[in-house]
Structure 1
Amino acid sequence: MRIAVGSDHAGLKLKAAVISYLSELEHTYDDFGAYDTNSVDYPDISRAVCGSILEKKHDLGILICSTGVGISIAANKINGIRAALCHDTFAAARAREHTDCNVLCMGEWCIGQGIGRAIVKAFLDGEFVGGRHGRRLEKLTNLETEQLQ
C-alpha cells in the first residue's frame, strides 16, 4: 500500500512515529512535510497529501496537526477526499469499513505515539464492507456535486 503522510509543525513527533511504524509494516510512503519546527500552514500540507491521492500516486493518506481538527477540515474541503479525525482504533476501523475514508487525521496533542500506531494499524487494516454503507457513500459523493442552497 502506498501512503502519503504529512503534518504541520505541531505534528512532527507523531508523524515521525507513524513513518517509523509504516516502515516496520513495510508500506511504501512519502513524507509531504513539515520537516522542521518552522511554522507551516496545515491547509498546504493537506492539499499536497490529498492531491497525491486524487492523482492516484498514493492509496491512502495520513495527516497530523495539533488536534487533528484543522487538518481534517482542510482535507474534507477537497472533492473526492473522505478524511476521518480519529483518536481511537474503533473510529479508525469504522472510517474505512463504513465510509471508505481515504485519509486518516490525528492530533499529536490528543494522543500518544503508541495509540497513534494502533490507530494507523486499525485504519490500514480496515476494508470497505459495502452493502448499506455503499448507498450512504453514494449519497456523500452526491453532496459534493450538488449545489445546496
Structure 2
Amino acid sequence: MNPNVVAVASDHAGFALKTLLADELRALGYQVLDLGTDSGESVDYPDFGRALAETIAAGRAERGLVVCGTGIGISIAANRNPAVRAALCHDTTSARLCREHNDANVLALGARLIGDEVAKDCLRVFLGTAFAGGRHQRRVDKLGAAV
C-alpha cells in the first residue's frame, strides 16, 4: 500500500469541495486517485462511498477522503466495508482525534456544513497525525471483529 496515494470520492453535493481538496492534496505532494463524481450532476452517494471503500480494501490507497452534502451518508456507505474506518469531522480536533484514537483511514466531510479553509485544515491535520496505538489498539481491533 502506498501511503502517498489518497483516494477521493464524492457525490454531486460534495463535488466542488472534493475538487478543491484534491488540488490541496496535490499541492502537499500526494498522488490523488479520484473516483468521482466528475460534476455537480445528481448521483447516488452510496456508489461513490462503496467505490472508495473497495479501493482502500484492495490496497490501492492507504487513506481516503469522502464528501457529500453532510458527510453522513457517504461515511455510512464507506464504513460498510470492514477495511474502512471513516470518520466524519467538522474541525481539526475531531480530525486529529479520529487518527490518534481510532486510526481512521478515511476522512469524511460535509460540503454543506464546513467551509473550505476549515476543510483544508482538517485534511492537513488528518494526514499529519499518527495513530497513538497503546490502549487504543485493542479498541480499534474490536472495530474489525465479527459481530
Task: Determine if the TM-score, normalized by the shorter chain, exceeds 0.5.
Answer: yes
Match of 2:72 among 69, 90, 94: 69
Shift of 1:12: 1.2
Percent identity, aligned pairs only?
44
For 2:139, the equivalent position in structure 1 comes to: 136
What whole-Å deviation, never above 9, does each CA across 1:37-70 have from its counterpart, x for those lacking one? 2211111001111111110010101000000011
Partners of 1:49 and 1:130 in 2: how far apart?
25
Q: For this pair of structures, how many residues does the alignment match?
A: 144
Larger Rg: 1
For 1:11, the equivalent position in structure 2 comes to: 14
- Please state if 1:113 is matched with 2:111: no
Deviation beyond 6 Å, 4+ runs, structure 1: none
Give the number of the structure whose residues are more often helix, by fraction.
1
For 1:123, the equivalent position in structure 2 comes to: 126
Q: What is the correspondence of 1:1-149 to structure 2 with a 5 Å cutoff? A: 1-142=4-145, 145-146=146-147
Q: Structure 1: which amino acid aligns with 2:102?
A: T
RMSD: 0.8
Say if 2:53 and 2:79, in contact at 8 Å, map to a contact too: no
* SS of match in other structure, 1:87: coil
Shift of 1:123: 0.4
Partners of 2:46 and 2:94 in 1: how far apart?
23
Consecutive unaligned residues of structure 2, counting only runs of 5 or more, are none
Give the TM-score taking structure 2 as reference length: 0.95
